[in-house]
Structure 1
Amino acid sequence: MFKRFSICYILFMFCITGTSAQEDRWTGNATNLSKGNLRVNSSGRYLEYSDGTPFLYMGDTAWELISRLNDKETELYLENRREKGFTVIQTVILDELDDMDVSSNGEPKLSDGNIDKPAPGYFTHVDKVISLAAAKGLYIALLPTWGDKVDKQWGKGPEIFTPENAYRYGKWLGERYMNAPNLIWIIGGDRSGDGKNFAIWNALATGIKSVDKNHLMTYHPHGEHSSSFWFHNASWLDFNMCQSGHAQQDFAIYQRLLLPDLKKEPHKPCMDGEPRYENIPINFKKENGRFGDDDIRHTLYQSMFSGACGYTYGCNDIWQMFDTGREPKCDADTPWYQSMDKQGAWDLIHFRRLWEKFDFTQGKKQQTIFGNIPLENKNYPVAFGNKDYLLVYFPLGGERTIYLPSMKASKRSLKWMNPRNGRITFHQNTTADTILVSSPTKGKGNDWVLIIE
């Protein structure tokens, strides 16, 4: 009898906590491009299609995609990301790691290294990448250049931009891609927007927007900074992007970047466009260990439940398209094509399923449910919802008293969602306003989402 009970208990716990051998896969195109161009919704908090349907920016970081992958490799990568539920791919035209005369199709990026002479062969390749993504319903969030071409510091360089030629290049890009159905513009590229950089970035953005009125635009800053530091009031900046970066390990970084952005006037949507990469050394030092799939989920759920409009995943081996024969950056150790199925990448689809079940555009942060008890940044719970639903993220699981706000129904159903496999299990029904909840498991790697309806 005891043996039979033990086996049943083990099977039950596996169903709650285990990782499925058959991962959840997205079927069909990543998004429906026929819904129209993207825009900021009326609240100034979220993104939507022109038909009013909410849009989730669920990005992947592929900075070196255009420069380093050939057509067959690009197809392999894009299909993998479509299958995992990504909606956006972030990449760069003039990349950081390779010389101007080096690219996957053997063409130079610029003729004679002149920004006023974009090389036709290379930009035909750029066109094809955008088209391949469109066929899968994937948006390309496109950086015209990486920051080293404006402000070298690191990367191949050289510095080739002035405000004048940046405007001309931007206008040329705007004319070329204004009718692409799947484009989002990202100015910047891991650099500051102050000093001499300000005029160049502003000219590049203004040049694009002088002809392209169809696409949203944001700015990618350097680590632990936000686009809002320099460009929040710029007419061309449609939504803010911060880079929480690869050193911080708790919620404090969002208290410094994301939460202040969400309070700025006028309201603009906000998101983390470069959080901790999976498999990158913590603070770029191998002796610190590497960020893992739980770090991905922490930044994903903590930022989205705080009110972000989207999120970008990153893998250390994929952003640089690392392969044998290429110099590893940031201690990359696995070829990109062997890194596409890391657990953190699989886990994003479970959030997307949750986002599609509940109307996030009508929700807001609900931190009052935790009462007046100070919250520890390393295990910072975040609550989000409205009178119809509450979603509560516990980074390390555990036990906590929560004080439920007024909801439409007096009887509430509580369920646990495992963000590692997407499984949802019933917990209890209650009419109480104060409840003590305890997650099925706790500790590092045992994060949970409590769903209250």
Structure 2
Amino acid sequence: MGICRRVGGVLNRCGLVLLCWMIFSQAFPASDNNHVKPLRVSRQNPHLLATENESPVFLNSFTVWKLLRNGSREDVEYLLTDLKRKKLNAISTIALDLELEELGKNYYGDYAFQFNEAGLPDPLQPIVTLGNDPQSPEEYDFWDHLDFVIAKANEMGMYVVLHPAWGDWFTGEYNGKPNRFIIFNEENAYKYGFWIGRRYSEARNIVWMVGGDRSAVYGKLDYRSVFSAMGRGIADGVKGGAGEKDPLISFHPRKWAPNSSEWFHDEPWLSFNSIQDTPYDQVTSVPNDYGLSPVKPTWLCEGRYEGPITDWGVRYQAWQTVLSGGFGHTYGSDAWQFPRDNWRQYLDLPGLTQMGYLYYAVREIWSDKQFLGRTPDQGLILGDQGETVGDGNTRGDGDGGGASASRKDGRSDRITAMRGDDGSWAMVYTAAGKEFRLDLGKLKGRLKAYWFNPATGKWWVDGVETADMRPFQKGIKAGKGDMTFDPPGNPGNENDWVLILRR
């Protein structure tokens, strides 16, 4: 039986022209040193993700679409170390990415697939060599590099949200116009999904994402069966190996188009829903997914990127999404390109650090029981709830989805609320420091009140910000009546605050 080897970065064919599945389906190496627990849809609260023992996990992801293409092993290790320090616990990336030059090539010059007669990657011919020594160009192939990313993330207690292929390869152009780069059909989408699912069936830290910034239907062009075929293939491949019974799989939609729930909510392979929206869209998208039956988790898998919008725009999109019921959040900036010469500059953006403050306030200060009992509840707010208008606090990017999204004065003074299902706590986000009145009849007991600054990660009390979680008021009697809360500072853009009430 023939195998394929690279010489000087070029693949030489030996023996058989096609690699058989047994050769190129070698599995991701099993590890006895798993630092993360596989995720499931929570049995106790199916709006959330949790480990097998029902410890809930808030997935806090960072977008690096071109990590494999432009990142070395050293880059990967530096990136993951920095993100972990900032309290992010996942990265979102792609195997066959969206670069349409040097198709499917990684940092080390290795290609993911052999090419067909049209000069396009053949998803049924992954290039896999014997061995995986990173010091040997003959051994260390494209898939070994992806193995390293996944294994290193696991070692650091982090997850990988993995797209087997970007949307171009399924539907063509962003607007749905077919082009020469469509390589997937139902048959090969299933087989490639099966292969990559089988290869990584031993990995415990992968969250799978089918699609990639594309709609499933463009007029008369319907690609739902192709995306579904890949989803089924991944599920069958993982379960056919030594993997988990039910791998987590979702679909990554494009902006200003129906989200995953529109096309795939009832599909058995779809574990959770995903949305990609601008801030004004999410006000309806997240609650829509949250209210569907059967219940499935939902989240913002791609939002507006910091740079085109300010860190305040990133913050209010994140907080409004999460308190509306999102099980996690994905942060983005131009780091998605992972430019080789200057990618580290994006780690210094303020919005990225502030996503760590988000994680701290929505997950770390709560017990597992409290987190599992979280329930979005706009009914907690009495009176005006404000609004979110436009495409975030936009820096003239012109990336509009209609008149409302294109406005450069994107803004929000919306108030978003969540509480514990037992009434023992509440969390309210005011995007522009607008005062609000709460229905205390929805809560119970005597509560303490805290102001949290999502821009600094500190607590406000007696006119001073402190790193210590200290209440600004105690002994609030819940169970009946209402109470007005006036955030620190003057109402206006950038002055967002989080109120926390708890026993």
The TM-score normalised by the length of structure 1 is 0.83
Q: 1:226 aligns with which of 250, 259, 284?
A: 259
Matched residue SS, 2:320: helix
CA contact (8 A) 1:360 1:385 kept: no
The Cα of 1:408 is off from its aligned counterpart by: 2.8
CA offsets 1:98-125 (integer angstroms, 9 cap, x no match): 4225320111121123211112211111
Matched residues in 2 for 1:348 and 1:374: separation?
A: 24
Matched residues in 1 for 2:435 and 2:182: separation?
A: 54
Q: 5 Å matches for 1:153-302?
A: 153=173, 158-194=181-217, 195-213=221-239, 214=244, 215-224=247-256, 225-244=258-277, 248=278, 250=279, 252-280=280-308, 291-302=309-320
The Cα of 1:157 is off from its aligned counterpart by: 6.8
Larger RCO, structures 1/2 (Cα 8 Å, 6+ apart): 1
**Counterpart in the other structure of 2:365:** 357
Matched residues in 2 for 1:180 and 1:255: separation?
A: 35
**Counterpart in the other structure of 2:57:** 55
**Counterpart in the other structure of 1:383:** 417
Matched residues in 2 for 1:390 and 1:343: separation?
A: 27
Q: 5 Å matches for 1:8-19?
A: none
Letter in 1 for 2:165: T
Letter in 2 for 1:270: T
Matched residues in 1 for 2:35 and 2:159: separation?
A: 13
CA contact (8 A) 2:70 2:338 kept: yes
Identical-residue share of aligned pairs (%): 29
Higher helix fraction: Structure 1 or Structure 2?
Answer: 1
The Cα of 1:364 is off from its aligned counterpart by: 0.9
The Cα of 1:132 is off from its aligned counterpart by: 1.4
Q: 5 Å matches for 1:363-402?
A: 363-373=374-384, 375-377=386-388, 378-386=412-420, 387-402=423-438
Matched residues in 2 for 1:67 and 1:216: separation?
A: 25
User: Kindly tell me: are residues 51 and 33 of structure 1, through their superposed partners in 2, closer, same or farther at Cα, counting changes over 3 Å?
Assistant: farther
Show structure 1 runs of 5+ residues with no match: 1-31, 281-290, 325-334
Letter in 2 for 1:243: Q
The Cα of 1:340 is off from its aligned counterpart by: 0.9
Show structure 2 runs of 5+ residues with no match: 1-32, 116-120, 129-140, 389-411, 461-470
User: Kindly tell me: are residues 124 and 34 of structure 1, through their superposed partners in 2, closer, same or farther at Cα, counting changes over 3 Å?
Assistant: closer
Matched residues in 2 for 1:162 and 1:41: separation?
A: 33
**Counterpart in the other structure of 1:418:** 453
User: Kindly tell me: are residues 101 and 257 of structure 1, through their superposed partners in 2, closer, same or farther at Cα, counting changes over 3 Å?
Assistant: closer
CA offsets 1:233-291 (integer angstroms, 9 cap, x no match): 000000000001xxx4x4x41233111111110000010111111012xxxxxxxxxx0
The answer to whether 1:321 aligns with 2:370 is no
Letter in 2 for 1:439: P
CA contact (8 A) 1:390 1:452 kept: yes
Matched residues in 1 for 2:182 and 2:282: separation?
A: 32
Matched residue SS, 2:109: coil
Letter in 1 for 2:322: M
**Counterpart in the other structure of 1:119:** 127
The Cα of 1:420 is off from its aligned counterpart by: 1.4
- Rg (Cα) greater in structure: 2
Letter in 2 for 1:158: F
**Counterpart in the other structure of 1:3:** none
The Cα of 1:154 is off from its aligned counterpart by: 5.0
CA contact (8 A) 1:35 1:53 kept: no
**Counterpart in the other structure of 2:151:** 131
Matched residue SS, 2:441: coil
**Counterpart in the other structure of 2:493:** 444
Matched residue SS, 1:210: helix
CA contact (8 A) 1:272 1:310 kept: yes
Matched residues in 2 for 1:375 and 1:399: separation?
A: 10
**Counterpart in the other structure of 2:13:** none
**Counterpart in the other structure of 1:331:** none
The TM-score normalised by the length of structure 2 is 0.75
CA offsets 1:120-157 (integer angstroms, 9 cap, x no match): 21111111111111111111111000011111215997
CA offsets 1:295-318 (integer angstroms, 9 cap, x no match): 111111111111111110111x20
**Counterpart in the other structure of 1:427:** 472
The Cα of 1:366 is off from its aligned counterpart by: 2.4
**Counterpart in the other structure of 1:93:** 95
Letter in 2 for 1:366: D
CA contact (8 A) 1:102 1:108 kept: yes
Matched residue SS, 1:111: strand
The Cα of 1:35 is off from its aligned counterpart by: 6.2
Letter in 1 for 2:272: F
Structural RMSD (CA): 2.0
The Cα of 1:211 is off from its aligned counterpart by: 2.5
CA contact (8 A) 2:196 2:237 kept: no
**Counterpart in the other structure of 2:164:** 144
User: Kindly tell me: are residues 154 and 373 of structure 1, through their superposed partners in 2, closer, same or farther at Cα, counting changes over 3 Å?
Assistant: closer
CA contact (8 A) 2:426 2:500 kept: yes
Matched residues in 2 for 1:160 and 1:46: separation?
A: 34
Give the number of aligned pairs: 395
The Cα of 1:412 is off from its aligned counterpart by: 2.4
Q: Which shifted more, 162-171 or 106-115?
A: 106-115
Matched residue SS, 2:124: coil
CA contact (8 A) 1:149 1:157 kept: no
Matched residues in 1 for 2:262 and 2:317: separation?
A: 21
**Counterpart in the other structure of 1:9:** none
Matched residues in 2 for 1:217 and 1:58: separation?
A: 17
The Cα of 1:436 is off from its aligned counterpart by: 2.2
CA contact (8 A) 2:38 2:52 kept: yes
